Amino acid sequence: MFDLPSLKIKARSGIYATGQERVVQILETAVEILIQDGFPSVTLREIARRMDIRVSAIHHYYSSRDDLILDVLSGVLSSYEEFFEGLRTASDLQPEERLRAFINAILDDILTLKTTRLFPELWALAGRDENVSRMIDAIYIRSRVLVTRCIAEINPALDLRTRENLALFLTASLEGVTIFAGHGKPWAGEMPQLKAIACDSLIAMVCNARPIADPDPDWRPPTLLDAASYVALTDPV
């Protein structure tokens, strides 16, 4: 029903068209290295070697490896942003169907080599780099916006804190399947039944959840982002 997201590389602003093309080539090469060999292998020298250009040609656009990595992560965020927005605006689906589509799509995506290799690398890098950690936080916040809205429509009695905690548990449960049933993993062949189990159990969890008896009106979802950045990601407009 929905196209799973591919890495969406956005060229930098403020440079000519030929420069834009070169930036995209650099970032696509970085993504290829990342998926094949992991983040430690993504160096400006290795990118230059694979592109058969001088390292100085890359330094013309990126002063450091960190700047380049952040641009790659921005491309990841942009691709998933479009995916989540497509699900959110699927007016032909009821809330429970939309949530089921989300669960199925995430588990389908986990089966791809790209996601099986990419996200564990991102999780590891996030533990060492605050900028990466904030970008990963942004990706998951955006995915939970869709989930929390579905939860609110499926079970309107729930308070904000319960909705957000359910969304966190649901998305974390799906991501945890990666290590066991991702691309080339031992349980990958069981994904059809795992998808059915995930849909039935997680949607039942939402339907049967109960609100907190005395919710804190001042509670807000924990985040690494500043208030303005968080609002920009979660604003329904």
Q: Tell me, yes or no, whether 145 and 194 share the same domain.
A: yes
Residue 225 has pLDDT above 50, yes or no: yes
The answer on 100 and 60 residing in a single domain is no
- Domain for residue 84, yes or no? no
Q: Give me 14's structure tokens.
A: 């403020």
Neighbours of 232 (CB within 10 A): 11
| Boundaries of domain holding 22 | 1-67
Is 170 a domain residue?
Answer: yes
pLDDT value at 8 more than 70: no
Q: Is residue 78 part of a domain?
A: no
Calculate the CA 73 to chain-centre distance: 10
Contacts of 179 (CB under 8 A, 6+ apart): 120, 185
Kindly state whether residues 54 and 99 are assigned to the same domain: no
Q: Is the pLDDT of residue 6 over 80?
A: no
Is the residue at 83 inside a domain? no
The helix/strand/coil state of 191 is: helix
Find the mean pLDDT for residues 147-157.
95
74 is a domain residue: no
Domains identified in the chain, total number: 2
Question: Which of 13-22, 113-122, 134-143 is the least confident region?
Answer: 13-22
Q: Is the pLDDT of residue 127 over 90?
A: no
* pTM for the full predicted model: 0.84
Token pair 């995916």 is found at: 83
CA dist 110 and 181 (Å) reads 8
- Looking at the chain, the whole-number percentage of residues with pLDDT higher than 90 is 49
DSSP single-letter state for residue 180: H
- Check whether residue 38 and residue 151 sit in a common domain: no
Residue position matching structure tokens 């968080």: 230
One domain, residues 40 and 142: no
DSSP-assigned states of every residue in 152-215: HHH-TT--HHHHHHHHHHHHHHHHTTHHHHSTT-TTGGGHHHHHHHHHHHHHHHHHH----SS-
The CATH number of residue 51's host domain is 1.10.10.60
CATH number at residue 211: 1.10.357
Domain co-membership, 4 together with 63: yes
